[in-house]
Amino acid sequence: MPTSKQNALEHPGSTAPDPIVPEKPEGAEVEKEEPVEDPRDAMASAASELLRAVRGKRSQVAFARRLGYRANPITDWENGRRFPTAAEALRAASRAGIDVSASLGRFHAAAPPSQAELSTGAPEQLAQWLCALRGSTPIGAIAERSGRSRFAIARWLRGEAEPRLPDFLRLIDAVTGRLPIDEVPTLALRHRTAAAAKRLAFEEPWTEAILRLLETTAYRARPAHDAAWLSRQLDVAQTDVERCVERLLEAGIVQQDGAHIRVAGALTVDTRSDPQAMRALLAHWCEVALSRHGRGRSTDLFAYNVFSVTHADLGRVRELLRSTFRELRAIVAASEPSETAALVNLQLVAFRDTDELPQPPVGAGSTPPSPTRPTK
């Protein structure tokens, strides 16, 4: 499964989405619509487990009848021999009483298909949602991270073909580094570890930066774990580093690995669920950036732009920043090896000229998650 390191944004977005892939030249081999899944593949396993969870306590035959099938494809779905399309899987979830539209809406700001559309199958609307999710991330980058061809991905995004459920999960993971499902066995450890890391991110914000440094080749090259070295890298007190490392060990987020400490398993931390705590976390990292300002380090970048535009263009700027944020997270996800760690903050402040209510702050549910990246 591709990892998904999350990061923020540096430049004002000179990258435009590449066109949704040119047609294959004549005579080129046409890719199969449904590649054979390796049952050991994490996304195939997660898809099977998700389908079993959707069925719940119903019998396979009863659930197949509820979905309108005369035969029983559910056995093949749950055993990984064959998978439904993503649209069909979401239709099944909708028919099982799950509010899929609300779940997709909580996962990403892009407008999802409605529950009514999902209950009858909505491949076109789902393709539009995937395009919005993709933003300006190059198709080539998505192909590399998902293990699927540019041609197949382009057809899925254009709505000319429908991804099977495992490929749908691969696409989401390749673009965002996270998945809108947690409570299936394959993803259970990932879910528990991320929940613990989220709690610590709020209570001990420096744990996020320590996790990132523990992943670097610079740390691994040291003869042993060195709290003083971590302290120097972060410019924080060694006692604070030691306390954070101890809490990470207690939570099982990191483990002793010989003379070093390593991060346990793939991890993405989504800190958006508590807007008030998110504001405090954002304030912490803004204060960190402010404390670094003025030191004149060549590797640091500080910039601002005060401007006046139309309301429509301000909306375009906001969406451009969000799209670029998602693209940068994808770049971080593909970056190997981890040689260094950094902080990127992103702010867009509108000077209000009306009495309209302010937009939700970054992190309050409509913006990509906090700048925390998973381990290898």
b (16+ CB within 10 A) / e for 163-179: bbbbbbbbbbbbbbbbb
Q: Is pLDDT of 37 > 50?
A: no
> Does the reported pTM lie above 0.95?
no
> Would you state the pLDDT for residue 266?
47
Give 278's pLDDT tier (boundaries 50, 70, 90): confident
Give 105's pLDDT tier (boundaries 50, 70, 90): confident
Q: What is the mean pLDDT of residues 26-43?
A: 48
> Would you state the pLDDT for residue 356?
54
Task: Please give the Cα distance from 214 to 230 (Å, whole number).
Answer: 9
Q: Is pLDDT of 168 > 80?
A: yes
Both tokens of 333, joined, read 């996800």
Task: Please give the Cα distance from 236 to 207 (Å, whole number).
Answer: 12
Pick the more confident residue, 230 or 7: 230
Pick the more confident residue, 48 or 174: 48
3-state percent helix, strand, coil for the chain, nearest multiple of 5: 50, 5, 50
Task: Please give the Cα distance from 214 to 194 (Å, whole number).
Answer: 17
Task: Please give the Cα distance from 181 to 173 (Å, whole number).
Answer: 11
Q: What is the mean pLDDT of residues 187-205?
A: 75
> Would you state the pLDDT for residue 277?
82
Q: Is pLDDT of 111 > 50?
A: yes
Give the least confident one: 147-151, 263-267, 343-347. Answer: 263-267
> Would you state the pLDDT for residue 311?
92
Q: What is the mean pLDDT of residues 90-109?
A: 86
Q: Is pLDDT of 40 > 70?
A: no
Q: What is the mean pLDDT of residues 275-290?
A: 89
List, in order, residues 6 or more apart from 172 with CB less than 8 Å away: 130, 133, 178, 179, 180
Bridge partners of 260, per DSSP, are: 257
Q: Is pLDDT of 164 > 70?
A: yes
- 327, 140 contact by CB (below 8 A): no
Q: What is the mean pLDDT of residues 279-285?
A: 91
Q: Is pLDDT of 348 > 80?
A: yes
Q: Is pLDDT of 272 > 70?
A: no
Q: For the chain, what percent of residues have pLDDT higher than 90?
A: 40
Give 91's pLDDT tier (boundaries 50, 70, 90): very high
Give 373's pLDDT tier (boundaries 50, 70, 90): very low
Give the least confident one: 117-121, 161-165, 176-180, 290-294. Answer: 176-180
List, as one string, the DSSP characters of 337-365: S----------------SSPPPPPPTTSS
Pick the more confident residue, 191 or 112: 112
Give 375's pLDDT tier (boundaries 50, 70, 90): very low
> Would you state the pLDDT for residue 180?
61
